[in-house]
Amino acid sequence: MLRWLFLLLLLANAVVLLWAALMQRESREPVPEVAEQGVSVRLLSEVDAGQLRVLGQAQSAAAQSLCVSYVGLPARADAEQVAQLMQGYGLVPVIEQEDIRLAAEFELALSVPQDPQERIALIERLQAVGVVPESSLEGTQLRLGRFGSEAEAEVAATRFRDTGLAPELKVLDRTQVLFSVLLPVDSDRDLFNKINRVLEKSHPGIKIEKKLCKGVATP
pLDDT digits (tens, 9 = 90+) for 138-167: 778 888 888 888 888 898 888 888 888 888
Find the CATH number of the domain harbouring 155. Answer: 3.30.70.1070
What lies within 8 Å, CB to CB, of 83 at 6+ separation is 93, 95, 181
Q: Is 176 helix (H, G, I), strand (E, B) or coil?
A: strand
- At 6 the pLDDT is 60
Task: Count other C-beta atoms under 10 Å from residue 86's C-beta.
Answer: 22
Q: Residue 166: which domain range? A: 103-174
Q: For residue 131, count CB atoms less than 10 angstroms from its CB and return exposed for 0-12, middle for 13-18, buried for 19 or more.
A: buried
- At 77 the pLDDT is 93
145 and 187, same domain (yes or no): no
- At 118 the pLDDT is 87
**What are residue 85's phi and psi, to 5 degrees?**
-60, -45
Which amino acid, residue 70?
Y
What lies within 8 Å, CB to CB, of 135 at 6+ separation is 112, 141, 142, 143
133 and 183, same domain (yes or no): no
- Do residues 167 and 109 touch, judged by C-beta distance below 8 A? yes
Residue 14 lies in a domain: no
**What are residue 205's phi and psi, to 5 degrees?**
-85, 0
Residue 53 lies in a domain: no
The total of structural domains in the chain comes to 2
- At 204 the pLDDT is 87
Residue 71 lies in a domain: yes
148 and 121, same domain (yes or no): yes
- At 58 the pLDDT is 42
- At 186 the pLDDT is 76
Residue ranges of the chain with pLDDT lower than 70? 1-64, 137, 187, 214-219
Residue 27 lies in a domain: no
169 and 181, same domain (yes or no): no
Q: Is 56 helix (H, G, I), strand (E, B) or coil?
A: helix
Spatial separation of the C-alpha atoms in residues 162 and 152, rounded to whole Å: 16
- Do residues 153 and 80 touch, judged by C-beta distance below 8 A? no
Please tell me the pTM assigned to this model.
0.46
Task: Count other C-beta atoms under 10 Å from residue 49's C-beta.
Answer: 6
- At 19 the pLDDT is 66
Q: CA 202 from chain center: how many Å?
A: 27
Which amino acid, residue 121?
A
Spatial separation of the C-alpha atoms in residues 169 and 106, rounded to whole Å: 7
Count CA within 13 A, CB hemisphere, residue 129.
17
Residue 29 lies in a domain: no
